[in-house]
Structure 1
Amino acid sequence: MKKACYIGGEWVGTAEYAPLYSPYSGQEIAQIPQADHHTVQKAIAAAEGAATVMRRLPAYQRASLLERISILMNERLEEAATIIAIEAAKPIKTARGEVIRTIQTYKFAAEEAKRLHGETVPLDAAIGGEGRIAYTVREPLGVIGAITPFHFPMNLVAHKVGPALAAGNTVVLKPASQTPLSAFFLAELAEQAGVPAGALNVVTGSGAIVGDQLVRDPRVRALTFTGSPDVGIAIRNRAGLKRVTLELGSNSAVIVDRDVQLGEIIPRCIFGAFAYSGQVCISVQRIYVVKELYEEFVRRFVAETMTLRGGDSISEEADYSAMINPEETKRVLRWIEEARQLGARVECGGQMAERMLQPTVLTGVSANAQVSCQEVFGPVVIINPIDSVYEGIKLVNNSRYGLQAGVYTNNLSLALHAADELQVGGVLINDIPTFRVDHMPYGGVKESGIGREGVKYAMEEMTELKLVIVKR
């Protein structure tokens, strides 16, 4: 199956193609176009050409377009989930959940398109300001360059495309090399929904060609990127005066206090650690449990983890499947072995079953081990004992990342203290950091990124504030 880029409302072939392989079976599933510089230039020119059309489109029409995308996606929900399951090896029942969220994200974008507004400014609060009316408006930036990752190939695209179109911008989208089929599927829906030609463009190929050109081209007014810190930092360093939103790395943690019941907590933490083989930005990677509960927590956590079933991603029975590619699997295995060499104990997992890395639980992990201080992005969780929540807070903060963190406690004062002291973008009291709904502000501090997603908040990042003053 040979695919094509989507540029200016047309499907455009390229001189070169690359095979796309299923992470689970290893079989070829498509031939993906590899854009050259001319193709990227054509996409940026198409987006720039459509910018005036989108800027002048009334809010209700932008909302209607996004609503139609959500309706069309809902009609083809199973097809969309199957695409994700095949290209990303995301278990089909998890892929369905992503599609449902994606539909909701476009609905949120449709709603927010009608709520984008400014405010009046009381100039007469200052001497000399009397006799004037002032108000602000939010205007679209123009062309938005969107670079998206593999692990939520529809919903993280929606978090960039939805707000951009809702605010009246145009988009050049570069999807992850492993998950372009989801982006092509979106382009089909957008075309069917009546999105103006050039408002959405999908260009596939190497980051060195497509991504670099989006960063360097002055016609691209803003960049929104989800991916690794190294790439994100490089983008920001080269972007000049472009608006930049970066969603980067994490090693999210959970703190478990002594006064909680484990019946609900353990299944939630297992879900947070091993959903989609831990390939989630806010996957639970570190769990710190007070010593009084530690042994029971580990025993029950390991027992429930061992009930998870691996298999083909399109199987309804599979809880997990293969990681995104063999090289990532080998890296995670090296990190597990490093932790073992530093004194960690492998409570379960740590081995391959066919092409799948089994869910892995480590205890007694050194803070210097890569599985503790880096982002694993694989099915690995560490569980270490702590004397108190206060110690847990220090351990959570001892990280280059700060995306989200969870604290389980029935002590209100302690919960509020944790909310104040944790150096993260989001604190979840009595829940795991893997929680996200699509209209909340989402983003991190330190090397977890800059800016916020969540449709309303992303629209603020993608618009310019203009002040208008009328003298009577």
Structure 2
Amino acid sequence: MSTLSVYAPFDQSLIKEIPLATSKEMSNAIDRALGLFLDQSKWLPKYKRVEILENIAFLMEERSEEIIQISAMEGGKPWMDTEVEMKRAINGVKLAIENMGHLKGEEVAMGHTVSSANRLAYTMREPIGVVASVSAFNHPINLIIHQTIPAIAVGSPVIIKPAPTTPLTCLLLVEIFESAGLPEGWCTAMPCDNDVAEQLVTSPKVNFFSFIGSAKVGWYLRSKLAPGTRCALEHGGSAPVIIEPDAEIKSMIPALVKGGFYHAGQVCVSVQRIFVHESIVDEVVEEMDTQVRALISGNPLKKETEVGPLILPREVDRVHEWVAEAKEAGAKVICGGQKISNTFYEPTILLNPSDDCKVSTQEIFGPVVCVYSYTDRQEAINKANALEFAFQSSIFTKNIDVALDTVRKLNATAVMVNDHTAFRVDWMPFGGRDASGLGLGSIPHSMHDMTREKLMVIKSEVL
């Protein structure tokens, strides 16, 4: 039997070894999920799903310290941020319950042509079928909730493959689901290697594919889907921020620092490229420098830690290579720019890296923020829109006309005004456009995607 060793990103100590699902086990899991879906006598009525979800929220609250501990240990996100993620995840379950009452059809008008006379028509929403979810490491609690709970809420069986670096949180959550009364087979966690995971994704028995991860992998897997399988893909970005001369610097800097260095920058909407008007660039850089140097890096299990490790040592090496390339090409290192250890990288600010180096053209996914000086706002907008990624962005200004004009011109799914790019609540539309993904991943959007519409037309002479 093949096993997966799960290591703590903080010190690379072994946390646990778990078995990896085999190809046969994956086939059995898919067949079991399909069998539950095809046999409507086994479907869970809505009131039962509500009861189960309420129990899940209660048990997650009751066992929150345990979940936070495991998640922070295997994922490396600091305790203070994992605690916030835990609260979001519990709220996500409650959101699913709330939105179960909003998934409904509507009357389709009939009778206004001779051919449609004597008819009454209504739409209704049904579960889409088997859902396959492939998850990422950076939010081990909340992403699992987003990729399983909507399916459970609408009555679609779901199989989830957790990230190989953070499978323990997923296994614990599925255990909690079953303790809450969810029958076996309705949500199955399948840690597995890439070949077995691809078997899940390509199966013609899967009706919906949910993916969170890199664009390279996401688009590849989408190309392998069976005909008819719907999907939602959430990839990364390189979140741009535009700062006008009238921006409120005192309140802005803490937001940018949090948005840039939260979870060591390993977030798909982390602040990465900050375009600052030349008249205030020195002041902005100086204030950011002061606050970034004060960040506390260390053990994610300590409640005072603000910046944890990167998920793997090779990611530390990669980030350092990108920073070194930018420095060699003329970027000024304001702070950071060095490895702290093989698992930690210094929170780093780069000033005016070249437009063609990796930190300017690709998603850094590390604790590095780039600041660029600009003269004309349209120039900053053009640079912000120059990459293939388009996820979340922001504009800082007190001028409502400037804000609205910038919102209109930025290529992004969401534009924050006077807030950092990583803002999110779980009921708002959230997802990338262009290379950054396909579809929207809020709890309500996911529930809608995991159902499909059916039309009923009744013909009667009395109508």
| TM-score, reference length from structure 1 | 0.94
Q: Quick one: which amino acid aligns to residue 221 of structure 1?
A: N
SS in 2 for 1:29: strand
Shift of 1:168: 0.9
**1:437 is paired with a residue of what secondary structure?**
coil
Query: Could you tell me the percent identity over the aligned residues?
Result: 36
Q: CA deviation digits over 1:59-89, x for unaligned, max 9?
A: 2221221121111101111111111110011
Paired residues for 1:2-401 under 5 Å: 15-51=1-37, 52=39, 56-126=43-113, 128-209=115-196, 211-239=197-225, 240-354=227-341, 355-401=343-389
In the alignment, is the contact (CA less than 8 A) between 1:49 and 1:198 conserved in 2? no
The answer to whether structure 1 residue 458 and structure 2 residue 446 are counterparts is: yes
Q: Deviations over 1:207-258 (max 9, x none)?
A: 222x201122111111000000111111111113210110012101111111
Separation in 2, partners of 1:159, 1:125: 42
- Gap change, CA 1:107 and 1:54, over 3 Å in 2: farther
For the residue of structure 2 that corresponds to 1:470, the secondary structure is: strand
Gaps of 5+ in 1: 1-14
Contact kept? 1:73, 1:189, Cα under 8 Å: yes
- Bigger mean CA deviation after superposition, 187-196 or 381-390: 381-390
C-alpha distance in 1 between matches for 2:71 and 2:456: 46
**Residue deviations 1:129-166 (CA, integer Å, cap 9, x gap):** 23221111111111100000000011011111111111
**Worse overlay, 111-120 or 372-381:** 111-120
Contact 1:55 1:140 in 2 (8 A): no
2: CA distance, partners of 1:408 / 1:123: 50
- Match of residue 428 from structure 2: 440
Q: Deviations over 1:14-72 (max 9, x none)?
A: x2212211111111100021111011112112212222459732222212211211111
Q: In structure 2, the residue corresponding to 1:118 is in which secondary structure?
A: coil
Q: Indicate if the aligned counterparts of 2:260 and 2:369 stay in contact, CA closer than 8 A.
A: yes
- Counterpart of 1:4 in structure 2 is none
Which range moves more in the overlay, 146-155 or 37-46?
37-46
| Post-superposition CA distance 1:286-321 (Å, at most 9, x none) | 111111111100000011100001111101121112
Aligned AA (1:368): D
Q: CA deviation at 1:391?
A: 2.1
Hey, which bits of structure 1, 4+ residues long, moved more than 4 A?
Answer: none
**Match for 1:422 among 410, 415, 421?**
410
261-270 or 453-462, which deviates more: 453-462
Mapped contact 1:55–1:169 kept (Cα < 8 A): no
Partner SS for 1:259: coil
Kindly provide the CA deviation profile for residues 161-195 of structure 1, in whole angstroms up to 9, marking residues without a partner as x.
11111111010100000000110111111111001
Aligned equivalents of 2:355 and 2:50: distance in 1? 48
Alpha carbons of structure 1 residues 151 and 54: separation in structure 2 relative to 1, 3 Å: farther
Decide whether the 8 Å contact of 1:54 with 1:199 is kept in 2: no
Q: Secondary structure at the match of 1:246?
A: strand
- When the two structures are superposed, what TM-score results if normalisation uses the length of structure 2? 0.96
Alpha-carbon distance in 1 for matches of 2:104, 2:23: 38
Q: Which runs of 5+ in 2 are unaligned?
A: none
